[in-house]
């Protein structure tokens, strides 16, 4: 669950990114994250745990430095023992932004889940620190996360695999690389398990900037696919078996481009 906020302090932005964000030309998504976090005076803590590549953290340090950030620190957390290192934990006291890289989201959940690091990320966000994640890092942001599944348009029984996420928000359920990997069906299947949340399919080089008031803003070159389950009238999920297709009646879907906003509390689109 999200950590409680302190009176008078707004929760920081929660920023799932669809993966493959532009890092070297316009860099719109990363630039907006940096601006929110304090610009050149930002203190960005990078968590490369999802990646098996040993240079992922150091590469993102270079990327943030090249975008003007003076202080970008990578915490090389590769196992649960690393989450107890006081030298790592101390950086969260200075953080104005936290960034989780791509890779395998199960590495994030199995290594960070239930640790002091996971608690600190939630507490930092509750105190106003902005938290972004790309690809696997984006999936991990929500209370529940998609960890795998089949591609395709039609939702089907057993189409998606899920696991507990970080729990920064319980308003949305994220799927990344959305249009590029044809993931509408698996997001719809995941949402059919619990229509309480709003589905957010995020294209590559695109970020969903979720503010403290529940409003999501689109930033980047792709689209957000918003799936509103608040008016659902019928789901055939309880009666489905094996690979049966799922009937969902009364859902709403929006495709939003940069500058558009969606209020996840009242389920309204604001197009600029």
Which residues belong to the active site? 135, 177, 204
- d(C-alpha 3, C-alpha 96), whole Å: 17
Helix then strand count (H, E) for the chain reads 7, 17
Yes or no: say if 152 and 160 are a contact pair by the CB < 8 Å rule: no
- Helices 28-37 and 56-66 cross at an angle (nearest 10°) of 80
- d(C-alpha 114, C-alpha 109), whole Å: 9
Contacts of 228 (CB under 8 A, 6+ apart): 198, 251, 252, 253, 254, 267
Distances (CA, A) of 129 to 30, 67, 87, 92, 182: 15, 19, 19, 9, 33
Yes or no: say if 15 and 134 are a contact pair by the CB < 8 Å rule: no
- d(C-alpha 226, C-alpha 82), whole Å: 37
- d(C-alpha 260, C-alpha 51), whole Å: 31
Yes or no: say if 12 and 49 are a contact pair by the CB < 8 Å rule: no
């Amino acid at each position: 669950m999200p950590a409680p906020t302190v009176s008078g302090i707004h929760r920081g932005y929660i920023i799932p990114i669809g993966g493959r964000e532009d890092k070297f030309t316009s860099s719109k998504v990363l630039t907006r994250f940096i601006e929110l976090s304090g610009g050149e005076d930002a203190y960005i803590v990078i968590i490369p745990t999802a990646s098996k590549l040993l240079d992922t953290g150091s590469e993102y340090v270079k990327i943030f430095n090249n975008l003007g950030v003076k202080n970008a620190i990578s915490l090389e957390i590769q196992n649960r023992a690393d989450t107890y290192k006081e030298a790592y934990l101390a950086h969260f006291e200075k953080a104005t932004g936290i960034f989780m890289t791509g890779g395998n989201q199960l590495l994030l959940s199995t290594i960070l889940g239930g640790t002091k690091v996971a608690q600190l990320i939630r507490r930092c966000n509750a105190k106003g620190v902005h938290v972004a994640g790309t690809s696997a890092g984006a999936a991990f942001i929500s209370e529940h996360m998609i960890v795998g599944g089949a591609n395709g348009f039609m939702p089907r029984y057993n189409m998606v695999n899920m696991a507990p996420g970080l729990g920064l928000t319980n308003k949305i359920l994220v799927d990344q690389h959305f249009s590029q990997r044809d993931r509408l069906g698996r997001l719809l299947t995941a949402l059919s398990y619990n229509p309480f949340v709003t589905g957010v399919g995020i294209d590559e080089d695109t970020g969903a900037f979720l503010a403290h008031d529940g409003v999501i803003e689109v930033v980047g070159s792709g689209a957000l696919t918003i799936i509103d389950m608040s008016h659902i009238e019928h789901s055939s999920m309880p009666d489905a078996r094996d690979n049966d297709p799922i009937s969902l009646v009364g859902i709403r879907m929006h495709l939003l481009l940069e500058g558009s906003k969606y209020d996840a509390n009242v389920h309204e689109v604001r197009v600029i």
